[in-house]
Structure 1
Amino acid sequence: MPDLIFLRELLVSGVNYLQLFLEAISVICVAIGLVKTLYILITVKDGRAARFYFGNWLAIALEFQLAADILITTVDPDLDSLIKLAIIAVIRTFLNYFLAKELEHNLLGEEPKGKTSKHQ
Structure 2
Amino acid sequence: MEEVIKAFTLWLAVGTEAAAALIIGLATIEAVVSALLLFLPGRPGHAHSGGPQAAKEQVRLRLGRWLAVALEFELGADILRTAVAPTWSEIGQLAAIAAIRTLLNYFLQQEIDKAEGRHPADPAASTKIQ
Tell me the equivalent position of 1:19. Answer: 13
CA distance in structure 2 between the partners assigned to 1:23 and 1:84 by the alignment: 17
Tell me the equivalent position of 1:98. Answer: 107
Identity of aligned residues (%): 33
Q: 1:62 touches 1:88 (CA, 8 Å); kept in 2?
A: no
Tell me the equivalent position of 2:57. Answer: 48
TM-score by length of 1: 0.69
1:63 aligns with 2:72: yes
Extract unaligned runs of 5+ from structure 2: 40-54, 120-130
In structure 2, relative to structure 1, the CA distance for the partners of 1:107 and 1:59 (3 Å cut) is closer
Q: 2:9 touches 2:80 (CA, 8 Å); kept in 1?
A: yes
Extract unaligned runs of 5+ from structure 1: 1-6, 111-120
In structure 2, relative to structure 1, the CA distance for the partners of 1:11 and 1:84 (3 Å cut) is same
1:108 aligns with 2:117: yes
CA distance in structure 1 between the partners assigned to 2:59 and 2:93 by the alignment: 28
Residue among 74, 86, 99 paired with 2:83: 74
TM-score by length of 2: 0.65
CA distance in structure 1 between the partners assigned to 2:99 and 2:37 by the alignment: 34
- Larger displacement relative to structure 2 (91-100 or 31-40): 91-100
CA distance in structure 2 between the partners assigned to 1:43 and 1:80 by the alignment: 48
Tell me the equivalent position of 2:23. Answer: 29
Displacement, 1:104?
3.4
Q: Which amino acid aligns with 2:27?
A: G
Displacement, 1:25?
0.2
Q: 2:75 touches 2:102 (CA, 8 Å); kept in 1?
A: no
